[in-house]
Chain A
Amino acid sequence: MRLAAVVAFALILIGGFEPFYLRIFTIDRPLEGALFAELPFRKMPGLKSFLEGVDAHTPPRARIAIWVPFRQWEGGYGYAYYRASYLLPGKQVVPLLALHDDRADFSNLAQADYVASFGEQLVPPGFESCWRDAHGVLLKASNPVASSANAR
């Protein structure tokens, strides 16, 4: 019984052991840190730097509609939209897909001061380009209400 108990104790010790917490002393930590920083954005190269640029070129409490070349929440749109909210703190992101539905909903443009168009340029009436980088364009509303748009 005692031997069996020692074996059970040893199994718990060995099984619960995390060798990675020893291996980490030997890895290139600055490189690992850089990889960690980019990992959440790796599926859309350029998205992070584009949204950081959008953040730098928009005022606090701006309402920014997000447009990316994907038309499904779980098929790419959500990936960009959820990350945009994190990278645009103090600003309200506005979806251009209907909530809970994989269809474009440009009526939400009426609730946006800006459109951040990544990867595929959206040209909504009433918005004018105010900044761009290699990955996308930021458009500012010149007209308070815009309700239709075309993707190019």
Chain B
Amino acid sequence: MTMVAALLTIAICVTAGWPLSKLLDRGAKLPLRISTSFLLGSAALGGVVLFLLSSAQLGWSSVTLTAGMLLVSAIADAFARKRAPFDRARITQPFAPQWKGFVATGIDLMTGVLAAGYALFATVGPTPEYDFISIWGVKAREFWIAGGIDWRFLENPFNEFAHVDYPILLPLIFDVQTAIRGSWDARWLGALYVAFGLAALLAVRAFIEEETDDSVLAAAATLALAGISFSPWVGLADGPLVASGTVGLLYVRRGVLASSSADILRGALFLGIAGSFKNEGVALIAAAAAGLLLTAPRFLARLWPAIAIVTPWFVLRRLHHLQTDLTAGPILDRVTGHLANLQPMLSALATYTRGKPFFWIGIGLALVLAFRAAITRERFLLVALLVQTCFFLAAYIVTPHDVTWHVRWSWERIVTQITLPLGFVAIALLLPLIEGRRGRSEG
């Protein structure tokens, strides 16, 4: 029953999001359609349906959730039907030799095996992550017991350890699954992380296929990015943030390259969802704005959906006096203190930067090999990721905690928030070189 409830939750999220995805991007290929359906469906059920049920003081149950899902789907479907049918002729299927198809399928099977391995890891037991127990899981559990968003819990100073200022979309999505199951089950919440990881990977695959017609290269690129699409931090907000943030950035990138304001709007929607998972997602919206400012400033205003999505939480946070620890106390004193002595932060960054040296060498090499294309064609994404990295470092400069402790327990994890889009950029830069095409590589 527990696994069934988890799979049912994912199916319900995809079903609820399908008409929303069609409404948003009628031309999306199947991998991108499935990816965006899950991301939109989970956000709509958690962030809209459960939120509205809670606000209306209606109980959370599989019945009220299903009613909400049907309502969301019906409204989106009605709007989608009103729009002119999409011209399928735009999607062309390039000719490829049969052997390439077999090789690509073989590589995709290897990716599938990795995904299955991740699924076993994510659901092997209840996640032991401290941040799940003290931040994300504790809120989801409290909300479930309260039958709605428990503002008294969030407002109580005895609970400030739970980072009550953090956006609550993730706990609400946990409660979507809990409502479907009818009781709390920490172990099978891990299935949601498999869905988020696959959503990220499917979207990346769809966008890579826009960069190359070679099915073997597309499959190999997907395999290369599989490991970093699956977040090892099950129960935390980083995996969902990576999925929605990456989809958002890649849509905006496509909008910049194709001069499509519709793609910028689509990207902004997913960036808004990313900002509803974690404060770094809000920073990512600002980073994307910086990227647009330096590449296509005329599209800057098209990020408005991202702002519109994250603003209500800031208003609620203020209304309920939910303080954030980073801005509490004498900020200026901390900033000047940390800036006057950067050595502990730099030393901690050097000490706690672990893993994936080959990956980072490969990224560096790609940027050097396709330097011109990097600063022209990929400028938006690279500026956005650079600015986001600066936000990460700025958090260490304003932190009220011991900076070494803060870096030790967050740096490796938050870097994964930019690893997937950065890996995508590197591969997008390498593909034309590998295929012997120069035009696209150099923008």
Residues on A lying within 8 angstroms of B by beta carbon are: 1-2, 4-18, 20-25, 29, 32-37, 39-40, 60, 78, 81-83, 85-86, 89-90, 92-95, 99
Contact = CB atoms under 8 A, between A and B. Distances in A.
A20 B434 CA distance: 29
Contacts of B63: none
Contacts of A86: 133-134, 137-138, 141
Contacts of A23: 117
22 contacts: A2-B433, A6-B434, A9-B427, A11-B362, A12-B224, A12-B362, A12-B423, A13-B220, A13-B362, A15-B356, A15-B361, A16-B226, A17-B227, A18-B226, A24-B117, A24-B124, A33-B124, A36-B124, A82-B134, A85-B162, A92-B158, A93-B158
Contacts of B153: 92
B117 A90 contact: no
A44 B101 CA distance: 55
Q: Which of A9, A32, A34 has the most CB of B within 10 A?
A: A9
Interface residues of B, number: 61
Given A4-B365, A14-B358, 9 more contacts: A8-B366, A12-B363, A18-B232, A32-B125, A82-B130, A95-B158, A99-B157, A99-B158, A99-B160
Contacts of B184: 89
Contacts of B220: 9, 13
B120 A29 contact: yes
Q: Which of A12, A29, A86 has the most CB of B within 10 A?
A: A12
A39 B130 CA distance: 10
Contact of B357 (A15, A24, A37, A83): A15
A21 B423 contact: no
A13 B433 contact: no
Contacts of B363: 12
A9 B358 contact: no
B199 interface: no
Given A1-B369, A94-B158, A13 B224 contact: yes
Nearest to B187: A33
Contact of B223 (A11, A13, A22, A32): A13
Given A2-B436, A5-B369, A93-B158, A11 B359 contact: yes
